Amino acid sequence: MIDSGRFHGTRDEAEAVSSPPLSDADGGFSIAATQAALASELGHSTLFDLGQIDVSWDAAASTLWAFMTPEDRPNYNLRMLRDIRSWQTEAKRMFDRGDLPLKYMVLGSRFPGVFNLGGDLELFAACIERGDLPGLVRYGHSCIDVVHRAWRNAEMPVVSIALAQGDALGGGFEALLCFDIVIAEKGARFGLPEMLFGLFPGMGAYSILSRKLGRQMAERMILSGKVYNAEEMFDMGVVTILAEQGEGEQAVRNYIAANSARHAGHVGVFQAGRRVDPLDYQELVDIVENWAETALKLNPKDLRMMRRLASAQTRLHL
Across 48-69, b (16+ Cβ under 10 Å) vs e yields bebebbbbbbbbebbbbbbbbb
Q: Once rounded to an integer, what is the mean pLDDT over residues 266-294? A: 97
Q: Is the pLDDT of residue 213 over 60?
A: yes
Q: Are 292 and 136 in contact (CB under 8 A)?
A: yes
Q: Are 114 and 312 in contact (CB under 8 A)?
A: no
Beta-bridge mates of residue 58: 44, 63
Band (pLDDT 50/70/90 cuts) for residue 50 is confident
Q: Rounded to whole angstroms, what are the CA distances from 146 to 20, 23, 130, 142, 252?
A: 18, 25, 26, 7, 23
Averaged pLDDT of the chain: 86
Distance of CA 163 to the CA centre of its chain: 11
Q: How far apart are CA 191 and CA 95, in angstroms?
A: 34
| Each residue's pLDDT tens digit, 128-187 | 999 999 999 999 999 999 999 999 999 999 999 999 999 999 999 999 999 999 999 999
Q: Where are the alpha helices (DSSP H) in 203-280?
A: 205-213, 215-224, 230-236, 248-259, 263-276
Q: Once rounded to an integer, what is the mean pLDDT over residues 251-258? A: 98
Q: Which of 2-16, 94-108, 220-234, 263-277 has the lowest mean pLDDT?
A: 2-16
Q: Are 198 and 299 in contact (CB under 8 A)?
A: yes
Q: Once rounded to an integer, what is the mean pLDDT over residues 291-311? A: 94
Q: Could you give the percent of the chain with pLDDT greater than 90?
A: 79
In the prediction, which pLDDT does 295 show? 97
Of residues 318 and 172, more confidence is placed in: 172
DSSP letter assigned to residue 164: E
Q: Rounded to whole angstroms, what are the CA distances from 107 to 100, 163, 183, 200, 315?
A: 17, 6, 10, 25, 24
Q: Which of 1-15, 112-126, 220-234, 278-292 has the lowest mean pLDDT?
A: 1-15
| Each residue's pLDDT tens digit, 8-44 | 333 333 333 333 333 333 333 333 344 344 434 334 5
Q: Are 281 and 11 in contact (CB under 8 A)?
A: yes
Q: Is the pLDDT of residue 73 over 60?
A: yes
Indicate the pTM of the whole model.
Answer: 0.85
Q: Could you give the percent of the chain with pLDDT greater than 70?
A: 84
Q: Are 2 and 86 in contact (CB under 8 A)?
A: yes
The enclosing H or E element of 68 equals strand 63-68
In the prediction, which pLDDT does 278 show? 96
Q: Rounded to whole angstroms, what are the CA distances from 123 to 31, 137, 253, 307?
A: 38, 12, 37, 10
